[in-house]
Amino acid sequence: MQIRPEDQIVLDHVAARRDDLIERAVGWANINSGSRNADGLDRVLTALEQTVKHLPCTVERVATASSSRIEDDGTEVPLGFAPALQLTLRPEAPIQIVLTGHYDTVFDADSPFRTVGTREDGALHGPGIADMKGGISVMLGALEAFEQHTDKARVGWTVLLSPDEEIGSPGSAPLLAELGARGHLGLTYEPSLPDGSLAGARKGSGNFHIVVRGRSAHAGRAYHEGVNAMAGAARLATALDDLNGQREGVTVNVARISGGAPLNVVADTAVVRFNVRVPDPDAADWILAQIQDLVSRPPIPGATVELHGGFTRPPKPMDAAQTELFEAVRQAGELLNQTLRWQPSGGVCEGNNLHAAGLPNIDTLGVIGGAIHSDQEYAWPDSFVARAQLSALILCKVASGEIDALHLKQLRLQSR
């Protein structure tokens, strides 16, 4: 693998637009787009549409699926989500690349962490600058440059920018599954790890809610006529926590018990909310069986339980396709004097969904930064060009056949 003259034209295109790559990401990050901030999401979506209007692709807002939420009183209420933004170019090309990202952040509309600044050490500091409005700019920068390549006709691409990744992609999951099934190679733009490493194997993740229903009664006059749902929830929470350590790599995090009643009332409703992480599909089957066993037996006499939720992100192991893809990306990085490493991660992202749909993918191609999901989030300005050039070169090598996307896809399907 080497950098050819036609590749260098693409790389130079990226380098010449350094300031644009950074400035547009800063502008997007200065607009709050928490996952439930409908107005902010729409403003960012509109800004993104303006940014891509010069690209020769189809641009459309795509409806996302509906979902539901379990309230503290145990009721299930429907939820809708903002649309995704989909860009499509050359869908008839023999090789199809799927590029994904998200334009929502973890910061609510009333968050005081609202604008991007520059730290004394030169790092950009702001909400979503790394996770992942910087990543979106890198992605688009790579695509803008790739359109200068002489072999671009061999490669079609589809971009999906979703509004709900930070809450598990409940609305965009069907779109990710569809694209993953028909694409050959996936590129996703979560930030790299702080040292620039890429995420390799990823655990799977599931979010669950157990509704415990009891019977209300006066805590003084008729305590024994009641069935205390909070007490039942506490016992379930302890039993769930006891599952930790029983199978390697499986963790259960009991995050919250909600519901309850005034101090002089026996609580008739409580909800146990918890997350599980698993290293592989067998472990997912095991923990699901343990959970189902627990809810099959009332935690206290007279109580009933209902299980809601499930796995939102399947595990993403380092199978043969992933291993070969990472090696190809490492070689591309070497050509750019970028030393690329990868390490396993307990975190999850859209790459999990794409992999489960049969798409080999690299999912940490965004900017180099850190402290994401906190008010210390940062990104290094120089990484915008470096990462956009890496993605652009990957696209060039797919177009030339030096990275064999069709072979990688077949290898992935064989391992399912």
**Annotated active-site positions, please?**
104, 165
From the number of C-beta atoms within 10 Å of its C-beta (0-12, 13-18, 19+), residue 110 rates as exposed
* DSSP-based helix, strand, coil % in the chain, nearest 5: 35, 25, 35
CA 128 and chain centroid, separation: 13
Residue 42: C-alpha distances to residues 84, 163, 165, 257, 263 (Å): 10, 9, 16, 33, 43
Comparing C-alpha atoms, which of 294, 307, 297, 254 is closest to residue 276? 254
Question: Residue 34: beta bridge partners?
Answer: 105
d(Cα 105, Cα 33) in Å, to the nearest integer?
Answer: 6
Buried b (16+ CB within 10 A) or exposed e, 14-27: beebeeebbebbbe
Name 401's Cβ contacts closer than 8 Å, sequence gap at least 6: none
Report residue 167 as tokens.
């809450």
